[in-house]
Amino acid sequence: MSFAGDVKTELCRTPLSRRCCAQAEAYGTLLYCNTFQSGEARIVTENEAFAQRLPVLFKKAFKLTFDRLPQRGGKQVFSITSPEKLAVIYQSFGTDPGALALHVNFAVLEESCCRASFLRGAFLAGGSVTDPQKGYHLELATSHHSVSREVLALMRELDQEPKSAQRKGNTVIYFKQSEKIEDFLTCIGAPLSAMEVMNAKLERDLRGKVNRRVNCDAANLDKAVEAAMAQVEAIRRLEREGKLITLPDKLREVAALRLAHPEDTLAQLAQRCDPPITKSALNHRLRKLVELGRE
């Protein structure tokens, strides 16, 4: 299953204990589902857990059953067309089926438990989220523009800061940052999925750090190899010009060791001296050799 599917399955494990919350979740579902008009409420889903939850949800919220239930193997379509049932639904949200534009009735979302339930319903019906291994994007899409604007305000009240955009006749509310996606998922009842987003982020950050470290080490290695080559070149020139034998013992010892072990690191070469010397002493002598070689 996709990550979005996993999130919805986790959300559907939230118990339907309070009627106020069941109504709020159904409300969010209806405002973000395929069709919610005066003549029909139609919810289409691919998610098995949501398909199983819907009849229970509507029973708990409105004591209603769907007029159309999914056919076996077909698309999961749930629909209510009976005018009496629709009237019950609209009344519970304080509007009537003839309303021109739908609005969020904040009066039915006063309790914080209900607000979270409302957003859960909205996400189950009209939400999607990208696999955090591939990127960070969570969105809620509805064709009711004023609803989207009001949901945006509701989310800001809950200290969430989503962005908003128009797309193909829909208004989309979205998050692009992993922390905000985590907060939203935790708020609506998917803390395990939120944890997955967090882990994906940590892993990605760590991998980035390791890559930078490797690149940095490679650059340092290149520099060390370059320096050793310059040292060998300088020592050879001193040798050719007969200057090497005129140098003090300490410098001649280091020169001989460098020629014999051109790939040694400074630490390794310092250990080969007799007696061993410090890295900085070695570095000093090598620099002297390079200097003399240049003259």
Residues in contact with Zn ion by CB under 5 A are 18, 20-21, 111, 113-114
Closer by beta carbon to Zn ion, 155 or else 228:
155
Q: CB of 63: closest distance to Zn ion in angstroms?
A: 17
Q: Are 161 and 180 in contact (CB under 8 A)?
A: yes
Q: CB of 61: closest distance to Zn ion in angstroms?
A: 11
Closer by beta carbon to Zn ion, 20 or else 259:
20
Closer by beta carbon to Zn ion, 110 or else 291:
110
Q: Look at residue 57 and give its three-state secondary structure.
A: helix
Q: CB of 112: closest distance to Zn ion in angstroms?
A: 8
Closer by beta carbon to Zn ion, 111 or else 179:
111
Q: CB of 116: closest distance to Zn ion in angstroms?
A: 8
Closer by beta carbon to Zn ion, 111 or else 241:
111
Q: CB of 131: closest distance to Zn ion in angstroms?
A: 31
CA distance 117 to 284: 71
Q: CB of 91: closest distance to Zn ion in angstroms?
A: 18
Q: Distance of CA 285 to CAs 85, 243, 253, 277, 292, Å?
A: 93, 15, 10, 11, 11
116 membership: H or E segment, kind and range: helix 112-126
CA distance 136 to 130: 6
Closer by beta carbon to Zn ion, 76 or else 92:
92
Q: Are 32 and 42 in contact (CB under 8 A)?
A: no
Which residues are CB-contacts of 256 (< 8 A; sequence separation ≥ 6)? none
DSSP-derived secondary structure for 164-205: EEEETTEEEEEE-SHHHHHHHHHHHT-HHHHHHHHHHHHHHH
